[in-house]
Amino acid sequence: MTPPRPKPVTTRRAERAVRAVPAWMAWLLPALLAAWLLTGGQPAWALDRTLHLQQFHHHAWTAADGVPMETWAMAQTPDGLLWMGGPNGLTAFDGVRFERFRPNPPELFPSAAVGRLVAMSNGDLWAAFFPRGLVRIRGGQVWRVPEDEAVAAMRIRFIAEGSGGTVWAGSPTGLFRFDGTSWTRIGPEHGVPTRAIDGVVADGRGTVWVCDDERLLALPQGETRFRPVGDCTGAVSLQVIRGEMWFVHPQEMRKAPAVSQAPLTRDPLLATRRGSSTIADREGNLWTVYCPAGLCRRRLPWPLEGDRVPLTGEPERMAAPEGLSGDFGMMILEDAEGSLWVATKSGLDRFRRSPLVPAPMPRATSNYALSAEADGAVMVSAYSPVASTLWRMAGPAGEGQREAGPQGQITAMGRDRAGRLWMGGPSGLWRRDGTRWTEVPRPPALGERWINGIVPSGDGVLVAFQRAGVQRWEDGRWTQLTLPGVAGPIEAAVAASADGTLWLGLQANQLWRWRDGEARRFGPEEGVDVGDVRHVHAGRTRLLIAGDFGVSLLRGDRFVPLVADGQETLAGVSGIVETANGDLWLNARKGAVHVRREALERFLADPRQPLALEVLDALDGYPGSATSFWPQPSVVEGRDGRLWFAGTTGVAWLDPLQPRRNTVAPVVRITGLRAGGAEYPVGAPLVLPRLTDMMELRFSAASLAVPERVRFRYRLEGVDARWREAGGRRETVYTSLSPGRYRFRVLALNNDGLAAREEAVQEIEIPAAFHQTLWFRALCVAAAAALAWGLHRLRLRQAARRAREQMRTRMAERERIARELHDTLLQGVQGLILRVEAHSAQLPTAHPVRAAIDADLVMADEVLDESRRRVMALRGAGETGSSLPRELEDIAAQLARDYDGEFHLVTVGRERPLRPEVRDELRLILGEALLNAFRHAHADRITMSWRFGGWWLRVTLRDDGAGMLPALAAQGRPGHLGLASMRERAKGLGARLRITSAPGRGTVVALVMRASKAYGNEAAPASPADGDEQADADRA
């Protein structure tokens, strides 16, 4: 089905705003847009027309990589995806993966064979099937385009997008137009004869161009009838080149007459983003297949002038022997980033411009020595075991021309201050004077030593020989250069500054400076820490050395090591260039390394921060890796500013001033989600099954220029606190997921770090199972709390049971002791008293001794009575049922009579029977407290309060007596056991006893213990009246 089209809405406010635009702006804005579009529209890096076909970066995919065989149609949609159609269906390519597009349900596709693809400006992909049928695809959704009887019977061969979103289709039976809801046949009444259509193209000005068997017809925007404007006979293609219509013939190109002066309103390069057998790219290259095999390229005269352009001369060709995926080319397409795509019967090829451009060099050569010429060319010596070859590289493409040179092996090249070229190796040493080469005699006794370097020195040159030292050639003779303290011949890396200073790098962290006949050594004490110094660069403003362990820069009199993320980046440096703007370019093992002047200055200001740099490797056209030992230097700067790098597999040049940033932002997509072994559609908010705890998400971004360098970062809101860096990985897995709502966000960056304009977002919900709900968790918490409370109560009962058993054992022991005391000690004392009475009776009544004995006997009776009371208290005999508060009240009444005090008893709550062992201990504790209040404190008023609570038993005794010092109240009086005994008994009961007092302010004795331990039965739940018992206990 086709979704409804929104109707245009125009408000009066919008009309007034349009009328308010000044007249000059009304024509200026379209003019600026036209100028932008005519100059290329997209700021991408197109294929430079000055380069040879073999100098473009080429990559081929075959069936082993998943390329569909026999591609009939290609198109690139605005999201960057490359689509290929053919007899095997529809395939999308994001630069990394080829994915077969399968509609759901499959019946949405009229057949399996796709014959034509066109990408529309609104993001739709239109696919025409063979033998018939038309569909529209967007975001993975498929809609069948409505067909009337005439359209249903035709085979669509050409599709073009006109102004206002109309679609034009050409077929063997005529021309048709689709307005979004229905088709209209365009026939003679519109100026189009009813016959086969051989081409339909819409340009950037809104004009629709149609080619039938004979004529070229044009329909300018706003008109309703086509005009005949030319002859199409023999044309093989219609091309929109910078807003102008050209039709291509085998021998020439003809420009169609201009039929509209309307400004460009749409990028004309959109026409190149659909496949064709012939296209003209934005740089004036004409590409064709079927020529008769492979790919052909012609460089058109640029800019195009006149109405006819002859296609003479032989085109550049590439077929399977030169690396093309197949000899049978089928489709060509130029993408938004300026890359050219060629589909063959056997695979898919991409051609793109790379920062480093390979210089045409013969195969089977290596170890390239470089030297810049005064006229902008670069001399390259390619080493071979027999004889080196000399090449002169010049021109915009860096084309190589073989030059006559010395017959021998060349391992080093250099120039003297007069600009003369020197080169040498194990076969000899030569100097070029104009066009004549002169051999310079080598130093005697050196044999066939290799030459490691040649630098200017005075009016001659300084030559470094392999393991044979450094010698100067000047005034027709050789002079050995000796360094103080260095014995034997040296092997050095040499360089010369513009002021004539010579620099020699030696083994074991040694660098020597030779200036005005004086030598100075730089070693580890000056910061030299690169191992064996293998390269020395004396640049415009900086001196750098490179060795086995990195690169260092001379700052003042000390060397500073350059430290970057991944120190391997600065390993194996064999050449350094400092450009006019202060940037550094290094030829290293991993490729060409670029250090901007600003980044170097930031690093020197704070060496703790890693040095920011850019690495250009094989993906950027670098040939292999840098030569580690010789020849040196392995990078030179030409007079035109280009940099020439020598690698292990060739030589490449780079223009550092040429913009090389990819300004086409990628479009990131979430391509799939898998959970619980099932695939789920993405896009709309997604609800996963309950108990899902793991999911795999896949994402992609179609940046086709250098897809290997596309980077991703993602974040799952609800799990990730910050963004995660995925690098080039295009999938992620989350585990241990809890129920809830999640939001997955992913962002892509292209090969130059340009981020996508929008994130891709997927809303995900995982419903909670019953055992994962808050209600279930609350029930679990409540059950756990109840279980903990039950265990606590059980523990309390067990503790109380153990306490009762201990108390029973204690009481039994006390009863035994009481019986023993009663039956032995008390009976013996009673008998002794009786005997003393008997002896006293024998004395006369008036005898003075008898009076004293009688007084002592009275005291003995009192002691015996007190002892009996103590023994009876120790046994607790027969008084467990009486009220302890009333019993203590009786004791207090007796003491009040003896000590003239006033006693008051207060009880709160229903009095409950106490456990016998608790009752006896409390009687002793409180009895001692009463005795102290009456006897020692001499109190006038004493109050005892009992509070029988459901959770706590609290007893408080207050008096207004003399009081005592707080220290005595806390620790007791030395030698007196009353207070200490009270505390020990309270502790034995599991009660808390606190005694507070101050001189002249009386004393308060407070005892608190749990009801479960005090009462004779289990404590009842707290009543409303008992609500503050815990607070009372704490205050006690």
pLDDT, one tens digit per residue, over 108-117 is 999 999 999 9
What is the distance between the alpha carbons of residues 787 and 1018, in angstroms, rounded to a whole number? 20
CA atoms in the 13 A half-sphere facing the CB of 745: 14
What is the distance between the alpha carbons of residues 613 and 584, in angstroms, rounded to a whole number? 10
Residue 765 has pLDDT above 90, yes or no: yes
What is the distance between the alpha carbons of residues 451 and 438, in angstroms, rounded to a whole number? 17
> Span 437-448, mean pLDDT?
85
- Contacts of 486-492 with CB under 8 Å at 24 or more apart are 486/512, 491/452, 491/464, 491/465, 491/466, 491/467, 492/452, 492/453, 492/464
Given pLDDT bands bounded at 50, 70 and 90, which one contains residue 557?
very high
Q: Which residue has the tokens 């790379």?
A: 354
Domain parsing of the chain, residue ranges? 482-646, 668-768, 773-877, 882-1036
What is the distance between the alpha carbons of residues 508 and 502, in angstroms, rounded to a whole number? 19
What CATH superfamily is the domain 482-646?
Answer: YVTN repeat-like/Quinoprotein amine dehydrogenase (2.130.10.10)
Q: Which two tokens stand for residue 51?
A: 């380069």
Q: What is the pLDDT of residue 275?
A: 67
Instruction: Produce one character per residue of 266-286: b if its CB has 16 or more CB atoms within 10 Å, e if not.
Output: bbbbbbbbbbbebbbbbbbbb
What is the distance between the alpha carbons of residues 955 and 950, in angstroms, rounded to a whole number? 14
Q: What is the pLDDT of residue 26?
A: 39
Given pLDDT bands bounded at 50, 70 and 90, which one contains residue 9?
very low
What is the distance between the alpha carbons of residues 828 and 833, in angstroms, rounded to a whole number? 9
Q: What is the pLDDT of residue 43?
A: 44
Residue 893 has pLDDT above 80, yes or no: yes
Q: Work out the angle at residue 941's Cα, subtended by the Cα atoms of residues 876 and 1007, and round it to the nearest 5 degrees.
A: 45
Residue 11 has pLDDT above 60, yes or no: no
Residues forming beta bridges with residue 952, ordered by sequence position: 1010
Residue 330 has pLDDT above 70, yes or no: yes
What is the distance between the alpha carbons of residues 575 and 591, in angstroms, rounded to a whole number? 11
CA atoms in the 13 A half-sphere facing the CB of 194: 5
Would you say 168 and 160 are in contact if contact means Cβ atoms under 8 Å apart?
yes
CATH number for region 668-768: 2.60.40.10
Residue 1 has pLDDT above 60, yes or no: no
> Span 274-292, mean pLDDT?
86
Would you say 379 and 390 are in contact if contact means Cβ atoms under 8 Å apart?
yes
Given pLDDT bands bounded at 50, 70 and 90, which one contains residue 265?
low
Nearest to 40 by CA among 196, 270, 200: 270
What is the distance between the alpha carbons of residues 532 and 102, in angstroms, rounded to a whole number? 61
Q: Which two tokens stand for residue 467?
A: 């393991």
| Range scoring the smallest mean pLDDT among 20-34, 521-535, 940-954, 1005-1019 | 20-34
Residue 254 has pLDDT above 60, yes or no: yes
What is the distance between the alpha carbons of residues 287 and 301, in angstroms, rounded to a whole number? 14
pTM, full prediction: 0.74
State the alpha helices, DSSP H only, in 211-308: none
Q: Which two tokens stand for residue 154?
A: 């035709």
**What percent of the chain stands above pLDDT 70?**
90
Beta strands (DSSP E) in 244-346 are: 244-248, 252-255, 278-280, 285-289, 295-299, 308-310, 316-318, 329-334, 340-344
Q: Which two tokens stand for residue 470?
A: 């450094």
Helix axes 848-875, 916-931, angle to 10 degrees: 140
Helix (H) or strand (E) holding 614: strand 614-616
CATH number for region 882-1036: 3.30.565.10
What is the distance between the alpha carbons of residues 240 and 269, in angstroms, rounded to a whole number? 8
| Range scoring the smallest mean pLDDT among 6-10, 125-129, 237-241, 515-519 | 6-10
What is the distance between the alpha carbons of residues 73 and 69, in angstroms, rounded to a whole number? 12
Q: Which two tokens stand for residue 224?
A: 């309703």
Helix axes 774-820, 848-875, angle to 10 degrees: 150
